[in-house]
Amino acid sequence: MRTLTSAYPSPRIYWIPAVAILIASCSSTGFNMNSLTGPANTPPAYQADQIVGKYGLAAYQRDEDRTRTEAEARRQCRQPYEIVKGPGGGVLMHLADQSEPTELQLKGAAGGKTFIGPEGDAGGEQDREVVSFDGKVLVLRWVDAEVASRYGTAIYVRCDSIPATKRKAPPRKKAAPKAKAAAPAKQLQPAPVESPQPNTPVFTEPPRNPN
Query: Do the domain assignments include residue 82?
Result: yes
Query: Do the domain assignments include residue 112?
Result: yes
pTM (2 d.p.): 0.60
Query: Do the domain assignments include residue 95?
Result: yes
Query: Do the domain assignments include residue 128?
Result: yes
* Structural domain containing residue 56: 48-161
Domain count, the chain: 1
Query: Do the domain assignments include residue 92?
Result: yes
Query: Do the domain assignments include residue 10?
Result: no
Query: Do the domain assignments include residue 177?
Result: no
Is it the case that residue 185 has pLDDT exceeding 90? no
* The pLDDT value given to residue 82: 97
Is it the case that residue 83 has pLDDT exceeding 60? yes
CA angle 181, 182, 185 (to 5 degrees): 145
Query: Do the domain assignments include residue 88?
Result: yes
9-67 residue pLDDT tens? 444 444 445 444 444 554 444 444 444 444 456 899 999 999 999 999 999 999 999 99
Whether 52 contacts 103, CB under 8 Å: no
